[in-house]
Structure 1
Amino acid sequence: MKKLTLLFTILISTTSSFACDICGGGLGNNYTGLLPNFNKRFVGIRYHFNAMYTQLDVNGNKTALSNKEQYQTAELWTAWNIGYKWRIMGIVPYSHIEKFNYGTSTKTQKNGLGDIHISGYYNLINTASDVVSQTLWVGIGVKLPTGEYNKSEYIDSNSPNIYQLGTGSTDFTTSVNYDIRHKNLGLNTNVSYKINTENGDEYLYGNKLSLSGSLYYNLVLNEKIVVRPNIGMLHETQQRDYTMGYKIQETGGYNTDYNAGLEANIKNIAVGFTYQTPASQHISQGRTELINKYLTHITYTF
């Protein structure tokens, strides 16, 4: 049963990781979730897709200056446990991002390595009985500036500085994950905070707070197959960016999303899918609008 809890938690915890900083390619690849109730190693592939409209007018309408941007990221991720209390995780992303301008009907795109994220976690609580089980993990992480950051992308456009493969900065994350389950019904909650530093071009992305919670239910089909439907919500708040010490007004904001997903476990193979749709948002003073997004993964445990 511990192995099965991992599969659900992967989807729940990672929802905050691809919802963007507040949005973008390399900007959204930091992992902030935890994996409670799991005592083995794993390696897998995740795929994120999210899209948004940028440079909308003051009423949130598309104009000749507006863009539609799409961000697709494939990630190699792995975790290794040290004893029963510690876990180390690494994520290596590769992104393909596109921008379509409505005024000129032109499309630009870029591909490349994103920002690698390394994190460590400690298990504070791990109790289980025939009726109730609960776990509590705390973690810290570092995001390395391995993705390309192009200063001209921001200087030459009026859009938020999100059309980047990476932030160009070394950033840090803290997170707390609590999971409680009564028989087959469970609740997973995650709180994470990302602390950004100024990059070499004197640009500082705003810090981000992420909160998520999801209900899940174990459906045991047979001894080898278990599926876990889940529903929940995610809320993110990001501070405004700074450049050369000056606050950029049309940055930062918040978004709240509904989540729905399904996990399946067949022996040592886990597959999953999560879909997100905005419930409420106010990003970049209303000049950016998030669209529906999704995440899928396949993971091998050993």
Structure 2
Amino acid sequence: MKKIFPALLLAAAVAALPARACDVCGYGPSNYNPFLFPHLARSYVSLSWSARSYRLLDHDGSWAQAKNNTLLLSAQYRLNSRLQLLAQLPFQLNEAHTQEGSTRSSGAGDATVLAQYRFVEAKRGNWRHTVLAAAGAKLPTGRYRSEAEKTAGQTFQPGSGSLDYLANAAYRVGYRNWLLGTSVAYKYNTAARDGFRYGDMLTAGAQLVFRLEGTRGALMPYAQATHETQFNDASGHVLQARTGGTALYVGGGLDASTRSITAGMSYQWAADQAIAGGNIQARPRLQAHVAFSF
């Protein structure tokens, strides 16, 4: 389990929150760049939970609050020493609270499938180097209703209604008990059947980990930073105002692992953000995970 935790730390949860106004930094179903730090270990199954919340500036000048809780079921099957297949399925509970009342939505979200290939794995003395890349698609399996079919109580939903394409690459270098991982990921979104297209997503991140060996396992404290860029949404090829933006998340966490089990938690906050022209404010986010390898 020495290498299982990086993939679990930043496996992105799909968030589907109200009013398709902004899909940046976890705010919306098209934000899905899984495996920012791709998994390098054996086959596994995992379950992770993430909680995110946002403040939204309404058209009348009042602030509303949106919350997203996601359970993410992930699995990887190792075909050989270089190639792995990965799949993820999120289950969501979304809430929006305004002066007029509260709205809730829950259900299975859009599934993602990826193929990951390890191009380089080298070791010289105490140094270790790894280069890998992955590509795949997010499938429109979650519930989605087009603009014409929506009612006031259905303005946020688990699915995006679109087939989207993902690619990422990562470089990891280790020295003794230290590990530094860097990566970049891009998500290309297509239009849903009603002509609405969420903006593409670009994510870059870095993570510094120290491994503390024990007689029965290991503890791995880490620090991490993630920068997310969301491009503007479009409806009928017309760019939408108050969409898109950027956010820089920083934080850290702790993982514990044995030979076949890894579990841990992480915490991140937005050190800098400019989301939807300042109309959305991202709050700190929390994540917990457990994985079983075989």
Give TM-score, length-normalised by structure 2: 0.90
Distance change >3 Å, CA 210–CA 153, structure 1 → 2? farther
The equivalent of 1:111 in structure 2 is 106
1:87 aligns with 2:84: yes
Cα deviation digits, residues 229-288 of structure 1 (max 9, x gap): 000211011110000121102100000010211111022110011111010001111111
The equivalent of 1:212 in structure 2 is 205
Aligned counterpart for 1:228 among listed residues 178, 200, 220: 220
Distance change >3 Å, CA 176–CA 153, structure 1 → 2? farther
Q: Which amino acid aligns with 1:80?
A: Y
Tell me if the contact between 2:33 and 2:203 (Cα under 8 Å) persists in the aligned partners: no
- 1:5 aligns to what SS in structure 2? coil
CA root-mean-square deviation: 2.2
The equivalent of 2:171 in structure 1 is 178
Tell me if the contact between 2:165 and 2:189 (Cα under 8 Å) persists in the aligned partners: yes
The equivalent of 2:46 in structure 1 is 44
Q: Quick one: distance in 2 between partners of 1:7 and 1:139?
A: 17
The 5 Å alignment of 1:133-282 reads 133-152=128-147, 163-222=156-215, 224-282=216-274
How many equivalent pairs are there? 285
User: Please, which runs of 5 or more residues in structure 1 have no aligned partner?
Assistant: none
Cα deviation digits, residues 177-222 of structure 1 (max 9, x gap): 1111111111011100000000101000000100000111010122
1:24 aligns with 2:27: yes
Cα deviation digits, residues 141-165 of structure 1 (max 9, x gap): 10000112233499777xxx98331
Cα deviation digits, residues 55-92 of structure 1 (max 9, x gap): 357xxxx943x321111111111000111110100001
- 1:10 aligns to what SS in structure 2? helix
- 2:2 aligns to what SS in structure 1? helix
Tell me if the contact between 1:24 and 1:162 (Cα under 8 Å) persists in the aligned partners: no
Give identity over the alignment, percent.
Answer: 22
Cα deviation digits, residues 91-115 of structure 1 (max 9, x gap): 01110100000x22x1110111100
- Runs of 4 or more off by more than 4 Å in structure 1? 152-157
Q: Quick one: distance in 1 between partners of 2:109 and 2:214?
A: 39
Q: Quick one: distance in 1 between partners of 2:106 and 2:148?
A: 14
The equivalent of 1:33 in structure 2 is 36
Alpha-carbon distance, 1:18 to partner:
3.4
Alpha-carbon distance, 1:53 to partner:
1.1
Q: Quick one: distance in 1 between partners of 2:14 and 2:275?
A: 12
Q: Quick one: distance in 2 between partners of 1:81 and 1:235?
A: 29
Distance change >3 Å, CA 176–CA 36, structure 1 → 2? same
User: Please, which runs of 5 or more residues in structure 2 have no aligned partner?
Assistant: 16-22
Aligned counterpart for 1:5 among listed residues 3, 15, 32: 3
Distance change >3 Å, CA 29–CA 255, structure 1 → 2? same
Tell me if the contact between 2:7 and 2:35 (Cα under 8 Å) persists in the aligned partners: no
Give TM-score, length-normalised by structure 1: 0.88
Tell me if the contact between 1:44 and 1:298 (Cα under 8 Å) persists in the aligned partners: yes
Q: Quick one: distance in 1 between partners of 2:13 and 2:155?
A: 13
